[in-house]
């Protein structure tokens, strides 16, 4: 595999790790649930529905991008994707803080999966994958030469790679916080990952428009 073919997969892994570091994507809830029930096993089991919900939200975006890339030319694809990223970033700046989802510590695994899906969707977790998926979507002149089954297979692998990176990072952070660090460090200070995420969404959207 050449460097040009490898970099989208490395970015997918990196974005998965970034999502895993973000408390809003699940590890904070897993730790809180474990502390509430006094069980490390609860922390570990909670990671499964969190990862599945996140993967489902990512899959919706991935398959939409693959379908769009098969339907329109690369120039139009870049414009649409760029405008979408910028619009989502602006939405986050204006209204993101008003849509914090609440779920009780007594929720079951199904409820946790639904919460994770909703959080990832509202957060726009799949939006940043759009530029990464563009080479995989085969937009432009090659779009209609790529079999649909191949596109769907690549999309499924992209979701799997990203979700595994997210799951491993979320699990590592959750266990470290649960076993040794505790939640008090969040009161003392934590990097505003939501702010970084919003800036990245808008910046990547502007870059796509420039490249169109």
Q: How far is CA 163 from CA 62, 124, 184, in A?
A: 12, 15, 28
183-198 pLDDT, tens digit each: 887 777 667 888 888 9
Give residue 140's pLDDT. 40
Q: Is the pLDDT of residue 137 over 70?
A: no
Contact 144, 19 (CB under 8 A): no
Q: Return the sign of the alpha-carbon dihedral for residues 154, 131, 92, 94.
A: negative
Helices vs strands, H then E, count in the chain? 9, 0
- The mean pLDDT value for 81-96 works out to 87
Reading the block at residue 81, the tokens are 């994707």
What are the E-state strand segments in the chain? none
- The mean pLDDT value for 95-105 works out to 66
Give residue 132's pLDDT. 82
Chain centroid to Cα 136, Å, comes to 17
151, HSE (Cβ side, Cα atoms, 13 Å): 23
Give residue 40's pLDDT. 94
Is this model's pTM higher than 0.85 or not?
Answer: yes
Q: Is the pLDDT of residue 48 over 60?
A: yes
* The total number of structural domains that make up the chain: 1
Q: Return the sign of the alpha-carbon dihedral for residues 32, 34, 40, 43.
A: negative
> Which range of residues forms the domain containing residue 182?
3-211
Contact 150, 169 (CB under 8 A): no
Reading the block at residue 100, the tokens are 């914090």
Tokens 């596109």 sit at which residue? 151
- The mean pLDDT value for 68-76 works out to 79
- The mean pLDDT value for 93-119 works out to 78
Give residue 147's pLDDT. 52
């Amino acid at each position: 595999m050449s460097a040009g073919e490898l970099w989208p997969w490395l970015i997918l892994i990196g974005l998965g790790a970034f999502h895993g570091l973000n408390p809003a994507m699940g590890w904070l809830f897993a730790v809180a649930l474990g502390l509430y029930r006094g069980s490390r096993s609860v922390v570990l089991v909670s990671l499964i529905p969190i990862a599945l919900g996140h993967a489902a939200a990512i899959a919706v975006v991935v398959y939409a991008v693959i379908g769009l890339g098969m339907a329109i030319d690369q120039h139009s694809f870049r414009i649409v994707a760029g405008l979408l990223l910028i619009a989502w970033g602006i939405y986050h700046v204006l209204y993101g803080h008003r849509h914090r989802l609440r779920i009780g510590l007594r929720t079951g695994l199904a409820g946790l999966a639904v919460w994770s899906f909703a959080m990832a969707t509202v957060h726009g977790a799949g939006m940043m994958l759009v530029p990464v998926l563009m080479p995989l979507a085969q937009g432009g002149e090659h779009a209609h030469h790529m079999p649909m089954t191949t596109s769907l297979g690549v999309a499924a692998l992209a979701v799997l790679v990203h979700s595994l990176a997210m799951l491993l990072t979320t699990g590592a952070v959750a266990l470290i916080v649960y076993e040794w660090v505790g939640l008090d460090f969040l009161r003392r200070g934590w990097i505003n990952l939501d702010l970084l995420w919003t800036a990245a969404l808008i910046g990547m959207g502007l870059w796509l428009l420039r490249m169109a």
